[in-house]
Amino acid sequence: MTARAAVILAAGQGTRMKSPIPKVLHKVGGRSHLDRMIDTVEAAGCERVVVVVGNHSPAVRALVEKRLGPAAVAVQDQPLGTAHAVLAAREALADFDGDVLITYADAPLLTAGDLEPLFEMRAQGVDLAMLTFEPADPLLYGRVIKGADGHVIRIVEARDATPEEKAVRCCNAGMMCADRGRLFGWLSRVGNANAKGEYYLTDIVGIAVAEEALVRGHSAPEAAVMGCDTPAQLAQAEAIFQQRQRHHFLAEGVTMLAPDTVHFSWDTRVAPGAVIEQFVVFGTGVTVEEGAQIRAFSHLEGAVVRAGALVGPYARLRPGADIGRDAHIGNFVEVKNVKVGDGAKANHLSYLGDGSVGAKANIGAGTIFCNYDGFFKYETHVGEGAFIGSNTALVAPVSVGAGGMTGSGSVITQDVPGDALALERGGQTNRPGWAAEFRARKAAEKAAKAK
């Protein structure tokens, strides 16, 4: 098979996004556009990936270097158009022999399956393969003009199109694929004799046709190639992504009582047989095993929910939460970086942060793992079968042994041995009549102020 490489264009200013965050670092499904595009071209078999960045976005460059290394960065030092941007990658691919795919970083719904027809056309002898689409509103898109046999003759920008050309429904999506040598040869001949004085990638179509090269297009769904230039388009892409995820999990055997209210991330994993109730949000890094139930209005991020566990309603699982088989995490319970053992229960109004809870332990309402002293985090460990009384504050570092118990309202600052009861309470003093005297005094003060 012919070797594959990709050039991802990520140097645009993204001014229409009106955000301090670079456009390609905005997220759909909790994953940045650029990360998603790198994932996509790698899944499409591209063994080399070069990302063209601008000097105005050091955060974009940092992402590329972290994922792919410094050699994958090509810098477009001036914003002189899309052809100029692709030419910035020529040196990075100087030793590459094979097909080069050109794509944009801000197409978060594009998949490897959408790109495969380009490589297939190349294998069948097409010199320049490109993706096209038929938008619901083609007003601003370049029209793809084809010859009688279906091959592409030219691309006409909307502002330059005649009424007949504007009637063409087939539009340019921007993704192209060609042999490296021919591609950069065509790009080097692109001029900038246009109103903006820029070098347009679309001009290589006319250059290739003039050489009698075969240019063909493959029609992709509009959603697959949609860009995200504005907050409105970003929201539209997110909505499409969420619908895809919902359909996927329903088809896999996940029960959702109101699927349109459930929000997934790009890497959410939910096993068949799990039940997801209304208004659940999955942040990144969540796995839910078979038979688990996530009840309404819960938020999960960076967590694992084991088989048969029950979470919520109104629960929050933060990164590092690992909820054991058949365990219960109830309403208004927050868990962060705690491994909860099989069958353990924390049914209401508790914070479990940093540590562990043993199998079949019971955490009473209002329990707090006091894990932070303002400078450092410390761990709390509750042993198997332990019983933590309501409103217990466990001041870390501290541990309660297997079968140990704490009395309600205790502040535990020392380890509790297994099977022991720990009580920490001040002595109770009752003052007969004090409450009645207090109310009478306050009523008199109020009446005096009213005069």
Residues in the chain, overall count:
451
| Strands 31-32 vs 27-28: parallel, antiparallel or unpaired | antiparallel
- For residue 160, with 0-12 CB atoms within 10 Å meaning exposed, 13-18 middle and 19 or more buried, which class applies? exposed
Rounded Cα–Cα distance for residues 349 and 52 (Å):
50
For residues 368 and 323, give the distance between their C-alpha atoms in angstroms, rounded to a whole number. 17
Residue 167 and residue 251: Cα distance in Å, rounded? Answer: 39
- C-alpha dist (Å) from residue 366 to 258, 332, 346, 348, 398: 31, 10, 10, 7, 18
Q: Where are the alpha helices (DSSP H) in 283-411?
A: none
Catalytic residue ranges: 348
Determine whether 151 is exposed, middle or buried from the number of CB atoms within 10 Å of its CB (0-12, 13-18, 19+). Answer: middle
Give DSSP secondary structure letters for 103-169. EETT-TT--HHHHHHHHHHHHTT-SEEEEEE--S--TTSPEEEE-TTS-EEEEE-GGG--HHHHT--
State the CB neighbour count (10 A cutoff) for residue 55. 12
